[in-house]
Amino acid sequence: MLKKPASPLPQRTGKASRATGRVTITDVAGEAGVSAMTVSRALKTPDLVQKEARARIDAAIRKLGYVPNQAASTLASAKSNVIGVIVPSLTNMVFIDTLTGIRDCLGAAGYQFLIGETGYSPDRESQLISTYMRHAPDGFLLTGIEQQEEVRLQLAANHIPAVRMFDLSPSSHDMTVGFSQTKAGYAIARHMVARGYKRPGFLAAQLDPRVMKRREGFRKGLMEAGLNPDVEVLLPSPTNVAMGASLLSSMLEQYPDCDAVFCCNDDLALGALFECQRRGLKVPQQMAIAGFNDLPWAACATPAITAIVTPRYQVGYQAAQMLVQTLKGEEVSKTRIDLGFELAVREST
């Protein structure tokens, strides 16, 4: 009986071979010039693979953006019906509202979702996305547009769609749902100028990319009015109400003639209000205060706090809706949805 000739080493085709279009272990083997079994062994028991072969395999994995799939026992064309959702914080009500919108949309469409919290760390975000990709998610909902290049390569190489929330990408290749953080900061500056304040300042913590875009817009609005944009106190630490009081104290020490503050979020704004009350400063006569997001208690404070109203629930719902349409192969008429924002003017300004 004739024996079948040995199969040659797999040759790289330049594209993923699975029905999903995702990079497979066979693609890695072809790129590295080894067998798929050798790649598998290198991933599971690297000590059993020669050093030179391991180096070629590692290089191929990095080049192709391959992510080991823990669900490889399922059919290659199967869908997981799971979406990875990555947010900066699970204690911030901003993202709780957004997750509620995501839940309502994905639940109705028959999807489950995995939630990851980055703590505002880009490295943690990359780690979470790589980890979740091992579970073969159908897609991702990500916060912001500043993902690391490694993440973008992995998503593209494995043909996993992602919708980015809370910002608007200048690239037509990105699917984004949000609003202009820069325009929101600009709107606050123009409001304070219109109210006659001469020395507005900016209080910020966390300093994630969206906060810095609010700062950019605020500075632009002040400069257009001929006011000094450098009246600011910035701190990279996580925000809380007590920090708002501390930052306002620092502001008044450095700029005693400051007569208004734009706080990068409502927690800082409430803390600033408490500090004014502690010092006997009248709001808004001696110090105006504006916040960002308009959490429910902002309108209930005394005096009520002026704030940018953000469409948090709608961001989550419409981002999830866009992703579901993409996964179903439906045409997405707009890949960039600007939901806008509102300025709620209240007693504090």
Instruction: Flag whether pLDDT at 22 surpasses 90.
Output: no
Rounded to a whole number of angstroms, the distance between the first and last alpha carbons of the chain is 92
% of the chain beyond a pLDDT of 90 = 78
Is the bond preceding residue 284 a cis peptide, omega within 30 degrees?
Answer: yes
Separation CA 144–CA 141 (nearest Å): 10
Pull the structure tokens for residue 202: 């900016």
Residue 134 — pLDDT band, cuts 50, 70, 90?
confident
33 and 90 assigned to the same domain: no
Residue 158 sits in the same domain as residue 98:
yes
Q: Quote the mean pLDDT of the chain.
A: 91
166 torsion bin: left (phi>0), alpha (psi -120 to 50), beta (else): left
Does residue 173 sit in the same domain as residue 187? no
Domain CATH for 93: 3.40.50.2300
Band (pLDDT 50/70/90 cuts) for residue 173 is: confident
> Can you give the pLDDT at residue 19?
55
What pLDDT score does 71 carry?
Answer: 53
Is 216 in the same domain as 303?
yes
The verdict on 190 and 282 lying in the same domain is yes
Q: Rg for the chain (alpha carbons), in Å?
A: 25
Domain end among 11, 35, 66: 66
CATH number at residue 40: 1.10.260.40
* pLDDT the model gives residue 78: 59
Q: Which residue has the higher pLDDT, 151 or 260?
A: 260
Query: Could you tell me the pLDDT band of residue 76, with boundaries at 50, 70 and 90?
Result: very low
On whether both 222 and 288 belong to a single domain, the answer is yes
Classify residue 71: in a domain, yes or no: no
3-state SS, residue 337? strand
Encode pLDDT of 27-63 as tens digits: 999 999 999 889 988 988 888 899 999 999 999 999 9
Q: Rounded CA gap, 333 and 314, in Å?
A: 18
> d(Cα 168, Cα 267) in Å, to the nearest integer?
24
Say if residue 12's pLDDT is above 50: no
Q: Is 74 part of a structural domain of the chain?
A: no
- For residue 49, what are the domain limits? 1-66
Calpha distance 294→169 (Å, rounded): 24
Mark whether 48 and 159 lie in a shared domain. no
Residue 325 lies in a domain: yes
Domain boundary among 66, 101, 122: 66
pLDDT at 98 over 60: yes
The residue among 267 and 74 whose pLDDT is bigger is 267
Residue at 281 is within a domain: yes
Q: Is residue 110 part of a domain?
A: yes
Do 252 and 303 reside in the same domain of the chain? Answer: yes
Distance CA 81, CA 122 (A): 26
* 17 assigned to some structural domain: yes
Q: Note whether 145 and 206 are same-domain residues.
A: no
Domain identity same for 260 and 304: yes
> Of 66, 100, 120, which residue is a domain's last?
66
Are 175 and 320 found together in one domain? yes
In a domain, 77, yes or no: no
Q: Are strands 82-87 and 139-143 parallel, antiparallel or unpaired?
A: parallel
What percentage of the chain exceeds 70 in pLDDT?
Answer: 91
Q: Are residues 296 and 192 in the same domain?
A: yes
Q: Is residue 153 part of a domain?
A: yes
Question: What's the mean pLDDT in 68-97?
Answer: 78
Q: What is the pLDDT of residue 4?
A: 43
The count of domains in the chain is: 3
